[in-house]
Amino acid sequence: MTDILRIAAAALAGGALCLLLKREQPVFAFLLSACGAIALFVAVAARLEPLLDFFRLLSGYGQGQAVSCLIQVVGIALAAQFAADTCRDAGMQAAATGVELGGRALALVQALPLLQTLADTFLSFLQ
């Protein structure tokens, strides 16, 4: 609970600083926004060790391909969302939409083996 309060406080402080800088120095406001987002991402990533341990435990139960595929899809989604948000902050709406579309397409491509296994299992169940 205290971690999210710290992260929220840092985000609010960074947002207030960006608003103050935006009129006078928009380039510095964007750089502050991007650096703040990266710092918050690193702070959150440092807390993900229990989740990664859980995924390692899940991969030990099966072939590991499904869990690995899901982790890669989630990674693609997070990276695409971060890039799209950064593009939006810079005022590049079209680039943000392109990044989101590319992220969705790459996530689907990455999930194809899992979807194929699921379809094969479903079809064998029907027969």
Chain segment 70-119, per-residue pLDDT in tens: 888 888 998 899 888 888 887 888 988 999 999 999 999 998 888 888 88
Is the pLDDT assigned to residue 63 strictly greater than 80? no
Is the Cβ–Cβ distance between 33 and 14 less than 8 Å? yes
pLDDT tens figures, 29-61 = 888 888 888 888 888 888 888 887 887 777 666
Is the pLDDT assigned to residue 3 strictly greater than 90? no
For the chain, how many residues are written?
Answer: 127
What are the sequence ranges of the domains in the chain? 1-47, 50-127
Query: Model confidence at 64, in pLDDT bands (50, 70, 90)?
Result: low
Query: Model confidence at 1, in pLDDT bands (50, 70, 90)?
Result: low
pLDDT tens figures, 85-99 = 888 887 888 988 999
* Residue 71, both tokens: 């982790």
The predicted structure's pLDDT at residue 104? 93
Query: How would you classify residue 25: left for phi > 0, otherwise alpha for psi between -120 and 50, otherwise beta?
Result: beta
